């Protein structure tokens, strides 16, 4: 039995994370009422689309190969495989809820949660990956997801401080 | 917003997270409604207490007034976002929070969330202020991963990929 999480599998999870992010942030744009939140969600969509494209290209190039080497850290790979197998990184479960009655703040909180899932996964995927291009993609995109978290967090803080601010989507 | 960011602030946040985690799990373990979680939450409470002590030692060993000026502002913002967003830095009554849950599954889901948050936060710490304590942080992260896996294992209706 192959215990290791192959790069192609990890990239598939990454693609799903990005795809769910695109879907969620797209809904958030169309319903956001303040310009700055709208612009923030617009940028997030564009970034997640780029991420998806990059992961897809890599995944397609690796589809028929399993880069398993003796260098793989078994503990990291077992851990990552265990997490993936429980569906923990299915952010669709986080983002699928109805948007009716959701405020900008609620949407941002959901976004923060989704970004954390990505950060957690990519942090481990970097350690697990043996493919240099895959590893670099995870490293690069992890940096961007952290920036997303910062943007969302700062926006949330701003909206939370505004008196009576209930910008309903 | 101040550009300066004390290492001691971040470590104090970590202590608070672990202390509140300990109180939370301790409350659950004592709650007869959740007898099926008793053994696991006793174990988790014990470990979070030990983590809190580990971070207190780290805090003691920090050079006085260590600042993060050398680090890019963005990293400070990132760690602040993680620390600020963590429910256990904001929560004043973790035991009360535990009492408010009605089902074991809610507690498991909540525990999964806080363990994930701890892992992400401590991974962030590795990159910055605590390079001298790297092996301790790695061990703590390893233990938090173990917590996460244990909680996932008992989660009902787990999705299988």
Q: By mean pLDDT, which of A7-11, A119-123, B2-6, B52-56 is the weakest?
A: B2-6
pTM score of the predicted model:
0.85
Substitution target from B73, B74, B76, B81 for chain A, most A beta carbons within 10 A = B81
Domain locations along chain A: 7-161
Has residue B159 got a pLDDT over 60? no
- Select B7-154's CATH number: 3.40.50.300, 1.20.140.10, 3.90.226.10, 1.20.1260.10: 1.20.1260.10
Domain locations along chain B: 7-154
Model confidence band, residue A68 (pLDDT cutoffs 50, 70, 90): very low
What are the Cα distances from residue B25, in Å, to A90, A121, B112, B147? Answer: 26, 25, 12, 12
Residue A3 is predicted with a pLDDT of 47
Give the model confidence (pLDDT) of B4-16 as tens digits: 457 788 888 999 9
Residue B88 is predicted with a pLDDT of 82
Residue B40 is predicted with a pLDDT of 96
Has residue B31 got a pLDDT over 70? yes
Structure-token pair, residue B15? 């202590």
CATH architecture of A7-161: Up-down Bundle (1.20)
Residue A96 is predicted with a pLDDT of 64
Q: What average pLDDT does chain A have?
A: 81
Across A88-97, B57-66, B134-143, which has the greatest mean pLDDT?
A: B134-143
Q: Do B77 and A154 touch (CB under 8 A)?
A: yes
Has residue B71 got a pLDDT over 90? no
Q: What residues of chain B lie within 8 A of the CB of A83, using their CB?
A: 148-149, 152
Tell me what ipTM this predicted complex has: 0.82
Give the model confidence (pLDDT) of A104-115 as tens digits: 888 888 889 889
Q: What residues of chain A lie within 8 A of the CB of B119, using their CB?
A: 120, 123
Q: What average pLDDT does chain B have?
A: 85
- Residue A166's SS3 state is coil
Give the model confidence (pLDDT) of A35-62 as tens digits: 999 999 999 999 999 999 999 999 988 8
Q: What residues of chain B lie within 8 A of the CB of A123, using their CB?
A: 119-120, 123
User: Are A144 and A51 spatial neighbours (Cβ–Cβ below 8 Å)?
Assistant: yes
Burial of A161 (0-12, 13-18, 19+ CB in 10 A): exposed
Residue A78 is predicted with a pLDDT of 75
């Amino acid at each position: 039995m192959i215990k290791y999480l192959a790069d192609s599998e990890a990239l598939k999870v990454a693609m799903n994370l990005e795809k769910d992010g695109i879907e969620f942030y797209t809904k958030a744009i169309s319903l956001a009422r303040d310009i700055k939140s709208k612009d923030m969600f617009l940028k997030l969509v564009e970034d997640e689309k780029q991420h998806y494209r990059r992961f897809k290209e890599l995944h397609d190039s690796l589809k028929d190969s399993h880069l398993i080497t003796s260098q793989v850290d078994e503990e990291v790979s077992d851990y990552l495989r265990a997490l993936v197998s429980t569906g923990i990184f299915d952010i669709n479960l986080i983002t699928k809820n109805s948007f009716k009655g959701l405020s900008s703040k609620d949407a941002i909180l959901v976004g923060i949660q989704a970004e954390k899932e990505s950060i957690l996964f990519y942090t481990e995927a970097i350690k697990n990956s043996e493919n240099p291009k895959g590893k670099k993609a995870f490293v690069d995109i992890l940096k961007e997801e952290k920036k997303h978290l910062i943007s969302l967090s700062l926006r949330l803080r701003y909206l939370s401080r505004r008196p009576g601010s209930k910008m309903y989507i | 917003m101040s550009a300066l960011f004390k290492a001691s602030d971040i470590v104090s946040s970590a202590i608070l997270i672990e202390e509140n985690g300990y109180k939370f799990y301790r409350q659950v373990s004592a709650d007869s409604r959740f007898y099926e979680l008793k053994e696991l939450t006793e174990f988790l409470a014990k470990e979070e207490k030990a983590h809190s002590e580990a971070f207190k030692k780290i805090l003691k060993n920090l050079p006085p007034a260590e600042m993060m000026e050398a680090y890019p502002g963005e990293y400070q913002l990132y760690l602040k976002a993680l620390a600020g967003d963590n429910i256990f830095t904001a929560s004043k009554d973790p035991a009360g929070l535990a009492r408010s849950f009605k089902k074991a599954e809610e507690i498991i889901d909540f525990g999964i969330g806080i363990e994930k948050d701890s892992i992400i936060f401590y991974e962030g710490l590795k990159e910055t202020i605590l390079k001298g304590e790297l092996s301790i942080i790695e061990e703590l992260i390893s233990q938090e991963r173990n917590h996460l896996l244990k909680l996932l294992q008992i989660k009902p209706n787990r999705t299988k990929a």
